[in-house]
Amino acid sequence: MVDEQYLQTMQMSMLAGRPFSRQFDDSLSVILNEEAARQIGLTNPIGKQITSPDNFVQNNGQPVTYTVVGIVRNFHFGSLHQRISPLFVLNDRLFKKVDNQLVVRVRTDEPEAIVGQMESIWKRYLPDQPFHYSYLATDWSDLYKSEQVAQRIFGLFAMLAIFIACMGLLGLAIYVIRLRTKEIGVRKVLGASIPSLVALLSKDFLKLVLIAIVIAAPVAWYIMNQWLQDFAYKIDMEWWMFAVAGLLAVGIALLTVSFQSIKAALMNPVKSLKSE
């Protein structure tokens, strides 16, 4: 139930017909969204009449007949967890009551000042009614609080897991390079280049990372697909997402072990051969 200014205030787009207007007697008019018109089966809905369900009846108990005056484009009036459902927009003049709720669109750099002015006006006309307000963007964001909390938690644990993995990889790199100190010295004396030594020391670690990616990617794909089933509107899990994640994992692993690998490759071979 809305008044004549609601659709314009919310900047909703009319697909056909007109919005409510004080120039007409719209007390028994209705505006449908595209989904409602589609499910009812109205091909040329403007001017057609529809009968209300039992929960919208007149005082005499008879169903109300409405005339369709407009079709508004589909818009989300709920969470993206659900698909857009049929919507019937009625003129509040039919119910002859005041709904103590206003939707206000303002253009200002000081919204709190505007809220203060609205509160003083509200108290002047409705002193017995408490004044509460909220921002539409905040209300919309609140629909996804659980997802936002989960995002922060998973982000924190992901960074913690990466840090622990990097520390373990660094420790393993130091240990392996120490075991292969003499081998590195011999290879260097025989003419091995620094890039070839770095590649030799890094490839074993990259094998472990690649094995981890092969194991983790299907598991991640399955879990994310299950989570996305809760949304009526969702993205598709594309292969390039896992490719980018894999490249990032390989890059992080290379950064972790490269310093130790380059340090070992630059070591004086004489000292390497003397090493126990």
Within 10 angstroms of residue 119's Cβ, the number of other Cβ atoms is 13
Judgement on whether residues 2 and 85 belong to the same structural domain of the protein: yes
Judgement on whether residues 152 and 139 belong to the same structural domain of the protein: no
Q: What is the mean pLDDT of residues 232-260?
A: 86
| Residue from 6, 77, 7 nearest 36 by CA | 77
Judgement on whether residues 184 and 265 belong to the same structural domain of the protein: yes
Judgement on whether residues 241 and 166 belong to the same structural domain of the protein: yes
> What does the mean pLDDT of the chain come to?
84
Residue 268 pLDDT exceeds 80: no
Q: Which residues of 129-151 are buried (b: 16+ CB within 10 A; e: fewer)?
A: eeeeeeeeeeeeeeeeeeeeeee
Judgement on whether residues 168 and 128 belong to the same structural domain of the protein: no
What pLDDT is stored for residue 146 in this prediction? 85
Beta strand residue intervals within the chain, DSSP E: 14-17, 29-33, 49-51, 65-72, 88-90
Judgement on whether residues 136 and 156 belong to the same structural domain of the protein: no
Residue 57 pLDDT exceeds 60: no
Judgement on whether residues 164 and 79 belong to the same structural domain of the protein: no
Q: Give the domain-ending residue among 109, 143, 177.
A: 143
Query: Which of these ranges, 74-88, 104-118, 190-204, 219-233, has the smallest mean pLDDT?
Result: 190-204
Number of domains, the chain: 3
Q: What is the mean pLDDT of residues 199-210?
A: 84
Judgement on whether residues 165 and 233 belong to the same structural domain of the protein: yes
CB-based contact 227:151 (threshold 8 Å): no
Which residues span the domain enclosing 210?
144-274
What pLDDT is stored for residue 186 in this prediction? 79
- What percent of the chain shows pLDDT beyond 70? 91
What pLDDT is stored for residue 148 in this prediction? 87
Spell out the residues 6+ positions from residue 200 whose beta carbon is closer than 8 angstroms to its own.
187, 192
CB-based contact 35:88 (threshold 8 Å): no
What pTM does this model have?
Answer: 0.64
Q: What is the mean pLDDT of residues 19-27?
A: 88
What pLDDT is stored for residue 99 in this prediction? 62
